[in-house]
Amino acid sequence: MNNNSKPVVVGIGEILWDMLPGGKRAGGAPINFVYHAAALGAEGYAVSAVGNDADGRAIVAELKQNKIDHVLALTPYPTGKVLVELKNGIPAYTIVENVAWDHIPYSDDASAVIRRADAVCFGTLASRSPESRDTLIRLLQEAPADALRFFDINLRGNYYSAELIHRYLGFADIFKLNDDEIGQIRNLFSLDGTDEEICRLLLKQYNLQYLIFTAGEKFSVIYSPQGVSRLNTPAVPVVDTVGAGDAFSGAFVYGILTGKSMADAHKNAVRVAAFVCTRSGAWPQYPADMKG
């Protein structure tokens, strides 16, 4: 880890407004990850792009208010939006195309941040455009050798391919997928076997430190070469599940970076994700007893 007292976490990719039935909330999976790690005590950086518009200025204000440092390119494209429809608290997404985060440029500022990173979060969605994909790959190559590269597959629409997933797994130290996504992986890679067998195969094949498998309201499992941690998902009064998976990710990585065991980092990740489900939107304010 870097010499600072706080671990440095960086999210590269989509930053956008989730247009929820109750109003708009800032979001984007890699940035949500950073928000939650920073809320727990990390030094967090968002690397993305916004438009020269009111939505872009509002997102910058949100980041500042939540003490998330950022390298946000200003582009001639509109700031990203996702239309979110909730069905029994479960989100369905309509993602607007050709927006600012489809055009994240490489920059010296982004390079300087990534070279300090203890963990980097990325996914497939921002790679739907060549420009952002090239930037992401270049920055992943510049991250310190001992930085945790966290690949949250985050499959949306048709914005992914077996080739892209294989390439990103080659970078990854931690891979996260859910019970819907494993079915897509099974088909894309022509894999046979149970969910557990596929998780163990991917862990070994890609030399991962951790593989995180989440099954929503049922359970989550974390596999490592040293062992397995399995926890049931606690029952909570769900407002919506927007950002809950990213909260899990940010909390788990923060735990590992601050010296927790896999089992203890997992317990806290489940606790944080459950808390987020009881609030609206991806960036709820943390109570004092959840920080640190």
pLDDT tens string 39-84: 999 999 999 999 999 999 999 999 998 888 999 999 999 999 988 7
Round the average pLDDT of the chain to a whole number and report it.
90
**How far apart, in whole angstroms, are the C-alpha atoms of residue 73 and residue 104?**
7
Query: Which three-class secondary structure state does DSSP give residue 47?
Result: strand
Domain ranges of the chain: 8-282
| CATH number of the structural domain 8-282 | 3.40.1190.20
Residue recorded with tokens 């931690």: 174
Q: What secondary structure does DSSP assign to 103-167, as a single string?
A: G----HHHHHHHTT-SEEEE-SGGGGSHHHHHHHHHHHHHS-TTSEEEEE----TT---HHHHHH
Distances (CA, A) of 34 to 63, 117, 157, 180, 202: 10, 12, 23, 24, 25
Residue recorded with tokens 């420009």: 131
Beta strand pairing call for 16-20 and 80-87? parallel
More confident residue, 10 or 287: 10
Name the helix (H) or strand (E) containing 268: helix 262-277
**How far apart, in whole angstroms, are the C-alpha atoms of residue 21 and residue 8?**
34
The confidence score (pLDDT) of residue 4 equals 56
User: Which of 131, 213, 197, 203 is closest to 173 using CA atoms?
Assistant: 203
- As a whole-number percent, the residues of the chain with pLDDT over 90 amount to 70
- Name the least confident of 15-24, 135-144, 203-212, 224-233: 15-24
Q: Give per-residue pLDDT as tens, 119-150.
A: 999 999 999 999 999 999 999 999 999 999 99
> pLDDT-derived band of residue 268, with 50, 70 and 90 as boundaries?
very high
The confidence score (pLDDT) of residue 131 equals 96
Q: What are phi and psi of 9, to 5 degrees?
A: -120, 140
Enter the pTM of the model: 0.91
Interval 228-244 mean pLDDT: 82
Interval 88-104 mean pLDDT: 86
pLDDT at 231 over 90: yes
Count the neighbouring beta carbons within 10 Å of the beta carbon of residue 238: 16
pLDDT at 281 over 70: no
Q: What are phi and psi of 162, to 5 degrees?
A: -60, -40
User: Which of 88, 84, 65, 78 is closest to 15 using CA atoms?
Assistant: 78
User: Which of 141, 144, 125 is closest to 133 using CA atoms?
Assistant: 125
The confidence score (pLDDT) of residue 22 equals 77
Interval 237-241 mean pLDDT: 73
